[in-house]
Amino acid sequence: GAMRSRAEVDATLQTAKLNPAELLPAVHCLSFGPQAGTGDCCLLQLEPGLCAELEAGRSLVIRGEKDEQAVLCSKDKTYDMKIADTSNMLLFIPGCKTPEELNGDQASCDIIHSQIAGFSNNYWELRRCRPKLKKLRKLLMEDPYEGPDSRKDQTSTFSKYTTEDLLSLIQASEEEILHQLQIIDACKIEGYWRILEFDYEMKLLNHVTQLIDSESWSLSKVPLRTCLEELGSLEPREMIEHILLSYGRKYIDDAGEVYFEMHEDKICRAIAQMLLQNAVKFNLSEFQEVWQQSVPEGMTARLDQLKGLALVDKTSRPETIFLLKVEDLPEDNQERFNSLFSIREKWTEVDITPYIQDLCAEKQTVGALLTKYARSSTQNGVKVYNSRRPIS
């Protein structure tokens, strides 16, 4: 249709009995643009920080397979996406000025013909969430690295993942993914991210701890150079360095030499896992004895090193211990609690904390989680938590 003229606008004002003297001289004549009804445009409500990211030219990514709920990822954060309906109609209009902008703009183009680009009665709402990282470990566990001698690796690259692959498959931001890869001690081999098969990892660790012992090195000053010289004939140099990085803190001394301060807790924990994975459960005191004998000279094995890895049953006679890895448990909050309560009916806060700590959202505490997903009671003077609902 033809564009409205000043005369037509004024006539409408007169019919409406509005006094032009009380209005700003500029008027927007709104019409629907050619693409307005097509629904190609939609609205995304931005959480703090995202607007600045977009204005800085950075991208956001929406990730999710058909069976997954879509998430939106910025460079370092992940958000759940949900459609929010409004009972109102939202029209989005380019080039529409606010009163301030009009007042400041003295060049009076009286009529501003504005085309409505689109309209909607809903928008995408975002809520910051924990990145969905359990799938990352699952993917890397499809084909753990068993060492250079393993014939497996010469076959297909089907279950191997590059950074790009992971970015397209994992519902998390790039930074969250890279951070998690570091936490699970993944390493890049021939461009693919790999997790070491546990036995191979223990074999590498054993090489190092044996060498520390035979050289009588201090656990806080393990030289990289000598490790590579002594062990380089047994294992690839990258693997030796990787195991040192996984189980130690790298530092450089004044002379520029690279050393590692070994993580006593992490080493003891790995050895415990190695012992515990061989049976359903162990007599606690027997286990502690064997465990202490198995750890390197100078290290002390302590039960608190096993949080999130193993659980002690103080109700059995004799007391027992069994492997329970938090990373094997469900990622969803309710499913995690269901799983924990089906393993044990009543938990103390001390026992359950390592198994729910990772569920905490940005400012959430373990206490808040327990209040939401569990019911508390007192047993023998001790506060315990059990399920809110009957477990089938």
Partner 1 sequence: EAAFLVRSEGAGGLAQWVLVELQGEVEPRQSAGLAGSLLGDLHYTREGVPVLIVGHHILYGKVVQLEKPFAVLVKRGAGETGPAGPHTHYTVTALIKTKLLFKTRPKPIITNVPKKV
Residues 78-107 within binding reach of partner 1 (CB under 8 A): 86-100, 102
Comparison of 100 and 297: residue with beta carbon closer to partner 1: 100
Out of 47, 76, 174, 358, name the contact with partner 1 by CB under 8 A.
47
Q: Does 350 bind partner 1 (CB under 8 A)?
A: no
In whole angstroms, the minimum distance from the beta carbon of 20 to partner 1 comes to 9
Comparison of 30 and 303: residue with beta carbon closer to partner 1: 30
Out of 5, 6, 7, 64, name the contact with partner 1 by CB under 8 A.
64
Q: What angle do CA 326, 139, 183 make, to 5 degrees?
A: 50
What's CA 205's distance to the chain center, in Å? 28
Q: Does 59 bind partner 1 (CB under 8 A)?
A: yes
Interacting stretch for partner 1, rule CB under 8 A, among 52-60, 279-287, 312-320, 375-383?
52-60
Out of 7, 17, 83, 149, name the contact with partner 1 by CB under 8 A.
17
Stretch 151-180 residues interacting with partner 1 (CB under 8 A): 164, 167-169
In whole angstroms, the minimum distance from the beta carbon of 297 to partner 1 comes to 50
CB 100 within 8 A of CB 117: no
Q: Does 41 bind partner 1 (CB under 8 A)?
A: yes
In whole angstroms, the minimum distance from the beta carbon of 81 to partner 1 comes to 11
In whole angstroms, the minimum distance from the beta carbon of 62 to partner 1 comes to 4
Stretch 246-305 residues interacting with partner 1 (CB under 8 A): none
- How many other CB atoms sit within 10 Å of the CB of residue 48? 7
Q: Does 13 bind partner 1 (CB under 8 A)?
A: yes
In whole angstroms, the minimum distance from the beta carbon of 87 to partner 1 comes to 8
Interacting stretch for partner 1, rule CB under 8 A, among 47-55, 245-253, 261-269, 349-357?
47-55
Comparison of 174 and 241: residue with beta carbon closer to partner 1: 174
Instruction: Give the C-alpha separation, 326 to 133, whole Å.
Output: 13
Kindly give, in sequence order, each residue whose CB lies less than 8 Å from that of residue 42, ignoring residues fewer than 6 positions away.
118, 120, 123, 124
What is the β-pairing status of strands 111-116 and 27-32?
parallel
SS3 372: helix
Instruction: Give the C-alpha separation, 91 to 36, whole Å.
Output: 9
CB 354 within 8 A of CB 308: yes
Kindly give, in sequence order, each residue whose CB lies less than 8 Å from that of residue 76, ignoring residues fewer than 6 positions away.
173, 174, 175, 176
Comparison of 37 and 330: residue with beta carbon closer to partner 1: 37
Per-residue DSSP letters for 206-219? HHHHHHHHHHT--T
Comparison of 98 and 293: residue with beta carbon closer to partner 1: 98
In whole angstroms, the minimum distance from the beta carbon of 139 to partner 1 comes to 13
In whole angstroms, the minimum distance from the beta carbon of 63 to partner 1 comes to 5
Q: Does 54 bind partner 1 (CB under 8 A)?
A: yes
Size of the site for partner 1 (CB under 8 A): 75
Q: Does 123 bind partner 1 (CB under 8 A)?
A: yes
SS3 242: helix
Interacting stretch for partner 1, rule CB under 8 A, among 111-119, 143-151, 341-349, 380-388?
111-119
Instruction: Give the C-alpha separation, 98 to 91, whole Å.
Output: 15
Instruction: Give the C-alpha separation, 269 to 308, whole Å.
Output: 10
Instruction: Give the C-alpha separation, 265 to 329, whole Å.
Output: 23
Interacting stretch for partner 1, rule CB under 8 A, among 23-31, 234-242, 300-308, 338-346?
23-31
In whole angstroms, the minimum distance from the beta carbon of 187 to partner 1 comes to 25
- How many other CB atoms sit within 10 Å of the CB of residue 136? 25
Q: How far is CA 367 from CA 163, 357, 370, in A?
A: 36, 10, 5
- How many other CB atoms sit within 10 Å of the CB of residue 115? 16
Written as one letter, the residue type at 103 is N
